[in-house]
Amino acid sequence: MPFVSRRKFLFEAGGGLSGLALAALLDQQGLLAGPTPCSAPGASSPFSPRKPHFEPRAKAVISLFMSGGVSQVDTFDYKPALIKYAGQPLEGKGEIVVRQGHPGPLMPSPFRFQRYGQSGLEVSELFPHLASHIDELAIIKSVVGRSNDHVMAHYELATGTVRMGAPSLGSWVTYGLGSESRNLPAFVVIFDARGGPFGGPANWTAGYMPALYQGTVFRAAGDPILDLRPPSGVSAEQQKARLELLAQLNALDEARNPANSELAARIASYELAYRMQACAPEAADISQESEATRKLYGLDDPVTEPFGRQCLMARRLVERGVRFVQLYHGGLGNQNTDTWDAHGDVRSNHAQHAAETDLPIAGLLKDLKARGLIDTTLVIWQSEFGRMPISQRGLGRDHNPGTMTIWMTGAKIKGGQAIGASDEFGYKAEVQPVSVHDLHATILHLLGMDHTRLTYAYQGRQMRLTDVYGEPIPQITA
């Protein structure tokens, strides 16, 4: 940490704490000067960027998590057999394990499918905007999860295990690569304005790693970070005066306690906090965006506005060096209408949630492309499990971890390809089943990390995000 020794030098050279030396120092750290450019990359941050294992394809990740369970057979995994065998039992697949109620007969999708782009991949009418990007997407149609419980399935996608308390993917990435931003946290979570996802903060926990690596929640409205600014009654001048005195006193303390590197880190954490006070609201402030951009994300329509805001913030954060942005769509409230959990009626549920997200996601992809960020940013669209090809109470679909469809784009991934396949009904993954460990291995690979070498010592073991499993998906990493 070069700036710490610089401080010591100034402190000692000044023969006591001359106001002048301190001012010069603080100025150098941007404490007294006007706001430093928030997008400036930092060499002196305590989360300094670290080298990956090999040349990375992506520097940042935006994960779009559709909470509640998106139905594959109503979105990207077209199954004509469901029309042909509509109303008949699903047979020859062993015992059908449902989460709620009783197994129903096969139910065709209420949505029409159409081929798009040069690839001719099928997309349902739920995603008219996203469909125009089909040739950019790598669609994986055979992801297999381990649990049909919302929370456990969320944890599996987030951490690789269905149990609570393991470090999340974003934490592993931050641990592995550090941060490109000296003014913002490296791992940011923005959840649905209706509330947090199933399983809550354990989805972005650092688990057994230090809190340094846990996700920081950005709120889509108001101050983006909890306790970012002083409460009412404390003015900016007061705050600044307090910080100046604090810096002086903590520097004295540091000098009295040699060889305690934590004290320097603590002083640095206040400097980062100070910069975050300016830079986090700046990053979250979408009022600076042009009318065209706002429209691109659907901010002019109350249906698309909330998720559009999340997507636009994601782009602004990535632009400013944030490493991992985790967006959740679908949150607390009425589970049947506020998340993708279409037990009751898949038609109305999915129509609503697709309408809320289709345009904003397409806007995000366009915008990343226009700004030249797409080649270094991995965008993943995912959910915690798929849904059943059979009906629940005639109109809905129950949980199904047997197969789900997710897609990836950006990071120079070959688009317009379908990877893996489910069986003729979309009930179980059949060709090239992909585990969550495989997904995680793939994501780490794109970020320049070998998932078998990214380890953290805990309980006498070299722990891995992928445990002892996982293989990168060759069609993605090729």
Partner 1 sequence: MYGRGVGGLLSWLWLCGLVVQPASGAEPISFARDIRPILEARCLKCHGASMQAGRLDLRSRASALKGGERGPVIKPGDPGQSALFRRVAGLEKPAMPIDGPLARPQVELIRRWIEAGAPWEGEIQSSMPQPPANQIKVPELPSAARSFWAFRTPVRPQIPTVSDPRWSAHPIDAFLKKEWDARGLIPAPAADRVTLVRRAYLDLLGLPPAPEQIDQFLRDPSPEAWPKLIDKLLASPHYGERWGRHWLDVARYADSSGYEHDYDRPNAWRYRDYVIRSFNRDTPFDRFLLEQIAGDELEDESTETLIATGFLRNYAKVGFREKDNPQFRFDYLDDMIATLGRGVMGLTLHCARCHDHKFDPIFQYDYYRLQASLFSYVEVDHPLVPRAEAEAYSAKLEEIARRIQPLQARIREIESPYREALLQEKYKKFPPHIQEAINTPEHRRTPGQVLLANQIIRTTSVSSAEFDRVLKPAELAEKKRLQEAIRALEQQKPPPIPSAMGITDGDYRFAPDGPGDEPAPGKGVKQEAIEGSFLHRGPGRYQPPPAYFLHHGDMQSRGPEMRPGFPLVLTRGNPAVELPPAHGRTSGRRLALAKWLVSPDHPLTTRVIVNRIWHHHFGRGIVGTLDNFGHTGDRPTHPELLDWLALEFQQSGWSMKRLHKLIMTSAAYQMSSAFAPESNLAKDAANLYLWRFRPQRLEAEVIRDSILAVSGALNPALEGPPIFPKLAGDVLKSMRNGIWQTQPEGPQTWRRSIYVYRKRGLPFPFFEVFDLPDQSLTCSRRNVSTVATQALTLLNNEFVVEQSRRFAERVRRLSADPSEQLVLAYRLAVGRVPDATERALGLRFLESNSLEDFTHVLFNLSEFVYLR
Which of 263, 193, 274 has its CA nearest to residue 230?
A: 274
Site for partner 1 in 359-388 (CB under 8 A): none
Give whichever of 131 and 143 is closer to partner 1, judged by the CB atom: 143
Give whichever of 126 and 473 is closer to partner 1, judged by the CB atom: 473
Give whichever of 24 and 96 is closer to partner 1, judged by the CB atom: 96
Site for partner 1 contains 185 (CB under 8 A): yes
Which of 109, 123, 154, 202 has its CA nearest to residue 383?
A: 154
Q: Which stretch binds partner 1 (CB under 8 A): 25-33, 57-65, 94-102, 379-387?
A: 94-102
> Pick from 198, 324, 340, 385: which binds partner 1 (CB under 8 A)?
198
> Pick from 6, 14, 17, 119: which binds partner 1 (CB under 8 A)?
17
Site for partner 1 in 397-456 (CB under 8 A): 430, 432-435, 437-438
CB of 434 to partner 1, least distance (A): 8
> Pick from 133, 330, 470, 476: which binds partner 1 (CB under 8 A)?
470
Give whichever of 2 and 258 is closer to partner 1, judged by the CB atom: 258
Give me the 102-121 binding string for partner 1, x by CB under 8 A, dash otherwise. Answer: xxxxx---------------
Q: Which stretch binds partner 1 (CB under 8 A): 52-60, 73-81, 189-197, 350-358?
A: 189-197
Strand runs labelled E in 280-400? 324-329, 377-383, 386-387, 399-400
Torsion sign over Cα 346, 422, 361, 173: positive
Site for partner 1 contains 84 (CB under 8 A): no
Give whichever of 294 and 437 is closer to partner 1, judged by the CB atom: 437
Site for partner 1 in 260-279 (CB under 8 A): 260, 262-263, 265-270, 272-273, 276-277
User: What would the two tokens of residue 355 be?
Assistant: 């309408």
Which of 65, 79, 109, 62 has its CA nearest to residue 378?
A: 62
Q: Which stretch binds partner 1 (CB under 8 A): 70-78, 111-119, 126-134, 210-218?
A: 210-218
Calculate the alpha carbon distances from 192 to 47, 94, 159, 433 in Å.
28, 37, 20, 30
The burial class, CB within 10 Å (0-12 / 13-18 / 19+), for 51 is exposed
Q: Which stretch binds partner 1 (CB under 8 A): 2-10, 237-245, 292-300, 309-317?
A: 237-245
Q: At what angle do helices 261-284 and 2-13 cross, to 10 degrees?
A: 110
**Bridge-partner residues for 121, per DSSP?**
116
> Pick from 20, 115, 222, 450: which binds partner 1 (CB under 8 A)?
222
> Pick from 1, 40, 81, 212: which binds partner 1 (CB under 8 A)?
212
Query: Cα separation of 387 and 405, whole Å?
Result: 10
Query: Cα separation of 331 and 454, whole Å?
Result: 32
CB of 18 to partner 1, least distance (A): 11
Calculate the alpha carbon distances from 398 to 89, 93, 355, 385, 468 in Å.
15, 16, 21, 10, 31
Q: Which stretch binds partner 1 (CB under 8 A): 113-121, 156-164, 299-307, 351-359?
A: 156-164
The amino acid at residue 429 is: A
Total interface residues for partner 1 by CB under 8 A = 107
Site for partner 1 contains 208 (CB under 8 A): yes
The DSSP bridge pattern shows strands 121-124 and 113-116 to be: antiparallel
User: What would the two tokens of residue 440 be?
Assistant: 């995680």
Site for partner 1 contains 461 (CB under 8 A): yes
What spatial distance separates the first Cα and last Cα of the chain, rounded to whole Å? 38
Calculate the alpha carbon distances from 469 to 160, 405, 418, 441 in Å.
10, 21, 23, 9
Give whichever of 245 and 370 is closer to partner 1, judged by the CB atom: 245
Query: Cα separation of 240 and 236, whole Å?
Result: 6
Query: Cα separation of 96 and 76, whole Å?
Result: 23
CB of 296 to partner 1, least distance (A): 27
CB of 382 to partner 1, least distance (A): 16
Q: Please calculate the CA angle 214-215-219 and round it to the nearest 5 degrees.
A: 150
Give me the 42-71 binding string for partner 1, x by CB under 8 A, dash otherwise. Answer: ----x-------------------------
Give me the 309-338 binding string for partner 1, x by CB under 8 A, dash otherwise. Answer: -----------------------x------
CB of 415 to partner 1, least distance (A): 19
Site for partner 1 contains 253 (CB under 8 A): yes
Contact by Cβ (8 Å): 181, 99 = no
Give whichever of 182 and 294 is closer to partner 1, judged by the CB atom: 182
